[in-house]
Amino acid sequence: METYTVIVLTLAATLRVATPLVIAALAGMFSERAGVIALGLEGMMLGAAFSAAAVSAVSGSAWLGLGAGIATAVALASLLAFATVTHRGNQVVAAMAVNIMVSGLGPTLALAWFGLGGQTPQLNEVAQRFTAFAWPWSQTAREHPLPGLLYAELLSGHNLIVYLTVALLPASAWLLYRTRFGLRLRAVGENPHAVDTAGISVNSLRYQAVLICGALCGVAGTYLSTAASAGFTRDMTAGKGYLALAALIFGKWKPYPTLGACLLFAFTDALAARLQGVALPLVGVIPVQFILALPYVLTVLLLAGFVGKAVAPAAIGVPYSKEK
């Protein structure tokens, strides 16, 4: 029973850790399938995390925070689109510039506004955060472990953004694969000339893709600062944007395999938190260092051995110009 409880709790933690990764990876999917490298995920998330926490701290409303987070990330996305689509700038350089700018700008603004050394105030009020809520009867269900604990821990007891993500995934898949917009968006990442010949604006499509990417990053960033923790701290994304990008490549730029990759990364992370100091059958207690390295070791092994060749969208990273 003890093992069963640990497994259920680890799975529940996996969902919480995976949420920002899944949203960011979906964001990256829109951008990359349209041919724009999504290296700016990290910066857009961090920017959103900052403004969501700042606005929520001042206004006392997590929903206003979410709005501010999305607005900030969309603003950064339009800056990126302006540089890379309109002016055909190098996508990697532009994205890195945004990442570095945000990583400095967030703490600087926070210091100027709140005087707390680059952090926003702690969000202590319930309304300032997206807190977990329990589904009906989850306390009663807990007493009947086999289906009950699954219900109480895995289904119930998460915050709104986690549930939103569950809906976001099929919605994104549908948008990309079942609509005219999605078909055009994918085409523009493979062969923009063909799209242009058909009389559809390549730039307009890429703008839309990058802005969708920004909006999703806004949600992911808001999750980090107002749901998973209570306030903004310096560099709080801690590489999650890059990890989401890795998951996207790992998932071959397809929605459901990408979800699998995100869940795998999150699961190893949640597992690492729980395996520390726990005696396992046969091997005993495993050293902390090994446990902490586990997610990376697993990633390398899986990438090296179990995933076939990942083929990127053909036109990725290439600015479009009619002449060439």
Least CB distance to another protein at residue 304 (A): 23
**Buried b vs exposed e over 237-263: b needs ≥16 C-beta within 10 Å?**
beebbebbbbbbbbbebebebbbebbb
108 touches another protein (CB under 8 A) = no
Least CB distance to another protein at residue 216 (A): 19
Q: What are phi and psi of 163, to 5 degrees?
A: -65, -35
Helices of type H across the chain? 2-33, 41-59, 62-81, 91-114, 138-141, 145-149, 160-178, 180-190, 192-197, 202-222, 240-250, 255-275, 288-305
CB closer to another protein, 42 vs 269: 269
CB closer to another protein, 17 vs 38: 17
**Which one among 229, 254, 257, 307 touches another protein, defined by CB under 8 A?**
229
Q: Taking a C-beta distance cutoff of 8 angstroms, is the pair 304, 286 a contact?
A: no
* Nearest residue to 267 via CA among 286, 237, 247, 242: 247
263 touches another protein (CB under 8 A) = no
CB closer to another protein, 134 vs 171: 134
Choices 70-78, 91-99, 174-182, 230-238 (CB under 8 A): range interacting with another protein:
230-238
Residue 220 corresponds to which tokens in the numbers above?
């992911």
Q: Taking a C-beta distance cutoff of 8 angstroms, is the pair 62, 127 a contact?
A: yes
Q: What is the C-alpha end-to-end distance of the chain, expressed in Å?
A: 65
**Which one among 183, 273, 297, 300 touches another protein, defined by CB under 8 A?**
273
230 touches another protein (CB under 8 A) = yes
297 touches another protein (CB under 8 A) = no
289 touches another protein (CB under 8 A) = yes
Least CB distance to another protein at residue 120 (A): 11
Binding residues vs another protein (CB under 8 A): 5-6, 9-10, 13, 16-17, 116-119, 122, 124, 131-132, 224, 228-231, 233-236, 238, 269-270, 273-274, 276-277, 288-289, 292
